Amino acid sequence: MIPVQGLAGAVVAVLGLGRSGLSAARALAAGGATPLCWDDNPAARARAEAEGLACRPLSRIEDFDEIARLVVSPGIPHLYPAPNTVVAAALEAGVPVDNDIGLFFQSFATGDWAAFDTPPRVIAVTGSNGKSTTSALIHHVLTSAGRPSQLAGNIGRGVLDIEPPQDGEVVVLELSSYQTELARSLTPDVAVFTNLSPDHLDRHAGMGGYFAAKRRLFAEGGPDRAVIGVDEAEGRFLAGQMAEGRGDDRVIRVSVTRKLTGPGWQVFARKGFLSEYRKGRQVGSIDLRGIEGLPGAHNHQNACAAYAACRGLGLAPKGIEAAFHSFAGLPHRSQTVGEARGVRFVNDSKATNVDSAAKALAAFRNIRWICGGLEKDGGLAGLGDLSASVRKAYVIGREAAGFALQLEVEAEVCGTMAVAVARAVEDAEPGDVVLLAPAAASFDQYDNFEQRGDDFVAEVARHL
């Protein structure tokens, strides 16, 4: 645990008692603060009270008379589309609002570091797609290189649940826009921006607010090194803001759409080959085509970002390449879950938006595509022409019929995962790929994308 510093003796309100909220309450108590908790869910309050944490409603301005700070869990809106009533009361009372990420950066460094040869570092990864795989891949490379490392944030453990860092340790954090937009302190040593595509637009009041939430990771603390995907206009703008000039190697630009040139530091992938250039000269390369855990151009982008972050810490290209080959990938992200009679079954349940689904579809051919769910803002226009890769779509979800009408390929309304997998198996021929890449949220039928992916895996197992 990372005990929270700077709030000893203060009463701190904690709103939301899921993983991050409970973790924050424990860390506040460990640091000498008095957490005062609330969650609308009685079961969540019962879990907190069983740990000795006090719970009390916090909906009026006068409830905050003795409270020094409000710590909010990521899923709770604080501005758009409308502030939660507790957040609104805190802001009206003039109480600062923070989250567990802000508390982490406030509390990470301690006096013990004076005895370390190498101070611990933090790599923080954000972006619309690929941040989980990029974070896990960086962690895997560091571990393979013998560097002590912990993985936390939006993946793995809560940030305040990690162990106090060792001499020379690297903490890798995956951070969502919900986490970066509210944290009062954001000071990573290396910040990574993978890409940007429309997502969570209601929460951020549009693309401008969404990008602004991501940009805070770079603007608030000024990382020593910034790894930035520049295949979108926002990434190019961000790289331009962070760099002092064309040759400023504190910024590493990353692309999977073109060769990057110039006097700076670039990492890009073309036709399955990763290249690293510095000062106009190639200094490293990796053939990504045979790496089973990183299939497709979207994973090549993840590989470039992870490579750049690790190179920024001084790791050698050959060591990074060796670690890439032993990376197994993450569940629910281009995960091969079975193969029979020449048919491959791939679970990419994490493809919860159009852009991530399009990237998953681009990684394979002869696809029997299982898709559908709770459609996000913007519709399905960003999928592009699927006729070259998709043989047929099998649509699930409560609104499967409406979803199917938007597809420009043959589509069958299946409704449930069981029916979709059964029909895809029945139709599949040797050389086909049965791919779950929903292009939609899961909440119409499942609690989360992991549960949806597990259902796919279970149905595939039944048929295999």
Residue 131 counted as an annotated binding residue: yes
**Whether the Cβ atoms of residue 268 and residue 304 lie closer than 8 Å to each other:** yes
Do the annotations mark residue 176 as ligand-binding?
A: no
What does the angle CA 227 – CA 230 – CA 232 come to, to the nearest 5 degrees? 135
For 159, residues 6+ apart whose C-beta sits below 8 A from its C-beta are 2, 20, 23, 100, 101, 104, 152, 153, 173
| 31 annotated as a binding-site residue | no
Rounded Cα distance, 456 and 418, in Å: 8
Q: Is 127 within any annotated ligand binding site?
A: yes
Distances (CA, A) of 336 to 180, 333, 455: 32, 9, 14
CB-hemisphere CA count at 13 Å for 322? Answer: 10
Using the 8-state DSSP alphabet, how is residue 441 labeled? B
- Please say whether the beta carbons of 407 and 446 come within 8 A: no
**Residue 270 is inside which H or E element, if any?**
strand 265-270
Contacts of 135 (CB under 8 A, 6+ apart): 123, 125, 151, 153, 155, 172, 173, 174
Centre a 10 Å sphere on the Cβ of residue 74 and count the other Cβ atoms it contains: 21
Q: What is the DSSP letter of 431?
A: T
Question: Distance of CA 102 to CAs 108, 113, 159, 248, 354, Å?
Answer: 10, 20, 10, 29, 31
**Contact (Cβ atoms closer than 8 angstroms) between residue 447 and residue 324:** no
Cα separation, 346 vs 457, in Å, equals 9
Amino acid letter, 452? R
394's torsion region: left (phi>0), alpha (psi -120 to 50) or beta?
Answer: beta
Distances, alpha carbon 121 to alpha carbons 141, 312, 379, in Å: 15, 12, 40
290 is in an annotated binding site: no
Q: In whole angstroms, how far apart are CA 258 and each of 236, 271, 274, 279, 384?
A: 13, 10, 11, 17, 20
Distance of CA 201 to the CA centre of its chain: 16
Neighbours of 192 (CB within 10 A): 34
Residues 6+ apart with CB under 8 A from 108: 2, 120, 122, 165, 171
Q: What residues form the annotated binding site?
A: 127-133
Q: What residues form the annotated binding site for ATP?
A: 127-133
